[in-house]
Chain A
């Protein structure tokens, strides 16, 4: 028995090393593709994809690594878009400061929403986040600085650090790529840190974590605020890309969309939500001019995924024979 277990352990360590090499190879290829992508694709589409990919990854940080299903993440995404747009347009700050304002605003909203929601679980947690998000939606509808249904229009992109003109689409693309990579590095560090290890243990067995002396609510709140801040990073960047911030980004549909992206890509996988966001944004983009309603297509894709690929695209790949051979192991 012990011999078998020892062999299993050794095999697992070997697979882990293989996984690291495979990850490094995929990372290198992915980076090269992202760098040359504007040569082949419309840059605005790529920037939208990167913003939503980061948003989905931020959401996955909460759902996939803490097990909390928030139905109010549009608050942080759309809220940050408003904060950034307002700061850049009205206060004339540089774009990086504008995004920082958005991130801090989203983190503050996350702290408030998390404070009220974090002690509840399951459907109650989801409903509290939805209720608070709807309250924020109506605040945005009524508040003066958001300009109601018109939103904040004609947001200047400005000059990065006062030097690089972001009105140039290529410069803007590489700026967005930089923001995306920074966001991904932060997420990767967060989940592969001592704090991330405690989050994983809470997700695995909350009662045991409490019995070991961990104040579970505080760790969950920390993850919630971090997830909100990163969603804000995505939202603030999107406001600069499209040069407006509107009610669309704070509506409940946006909260549903990010859940869809994460489930499609694979909950609890680092890169799964990127693929999920890619699929949804691509469908929205290329079916936008079609007579056929895009929501029906995404709905069908979602149903197929839930019924057939319950782990999501990347989750199923990890669990497949090829994925296991490459050293990946999917777990929830």
Chain B
């Protein structure tokens, strides 16, 4: 187990967005967090990555308590996330987006006396990542010019650049065409061989295809847990999320 949460809760005034959530994320497994809109999935993501401070509960990453750790330190410890709305550096090129992610792990982020060309040594690594996610032809394009789906792919490339131990993907397939969905599913399946992946995803065919474990949230609480087949057969889930017909 690489990431776990116990009794995780978050309230905004009188509104309780997440209540008493327990999660265990394991190495080399893809774990999906699903639920209807407003179920608290992204709030759980923000709590786990420390972009939000929990009202109650604790979070442990690789054996260390990170309940009070700031988000940048959590990222440096190996827990890296993507965002629901594609988070790229819009006026930087695709190559520069990936290089920015590579700068810190390669010790090239504080040198104000070195020329920008000193970052060229990261090109080989960046090009490999760009090729992995299929953005080779757009390498020198400005990120703002990419389609929404390609921006999501770029975000995955920058996330992978950190070689995280735990990867949190917030709706990675949102806005993607069918062709990209297949390619990104393969990428996630591949990267999950050597790390834990937790993803929020609405595309249930993707969830059934690549996820080993599914947690269903409803109104900030866990409704059901298990593999996809188990969850899909759960009557409460079918009623609350998937409908009464076949999931």
Contact = CB atoms under 8 A, between A and B. Distances in A.
Interface of A: 1-3, 5-6, 8-10, 12-13, 189-190, 192-198, 200-201, 204-205, 207-216, 222, 226, 331
Interface in B78-97: 80-83, 87-93, 96
B115 A189 contact: yes
Contact of A189 (B103, B112, B138): B112
A3 B138 CA distance: 9
Contacts of B83: 207-208, 211
A285 B160 CA distance: 56
Given A6-B138, A211-B49, A211-B80, A193 B111 contact: yes
A204 B108 CA distance: 19
B91 A204 contact: yes
A236 B89 CA distance: 37
Contacts of B73: 213, 215
Contact of B89 (A1, A200, A213, A215): A200
A215 B83 CA distance: 18
B109 interface: yes
Contact of B119 (A189, A197, A208, A226): A197
Q: How large is the interface on B (under 10, 10 to 19, 20 to 34, 35 or more residues)?
A: 35 or more
A210 B138 contact: no
A193 B87 contact: no
Contacts of A200: 89, 91-92
A5 B93 CA distance: 12
Interface in B130-184: 137-142, 145-147, 158, 162
Given A189-B115, A193-B112, A211 B137 contact: no
Contacts of A193: 111-116, 118
5 contacts: A193-B116, A198-B100, A205-B87, A208-B89, A210-B75
B141 A196 contact: no
A214 B72 contact: yes
A8 B145 contact: yes
- Most chain B beta-carbon contacts within 10 A, residue among A5, A209, A214, A226: A5
Contacts of A212: 75, 80, 100-101, 104, 158, 162
B201 to A, nearest CB: 19
Nearest to B139: A9
B75 A8 contact: no
Contacts of A214: 72, 104, 109
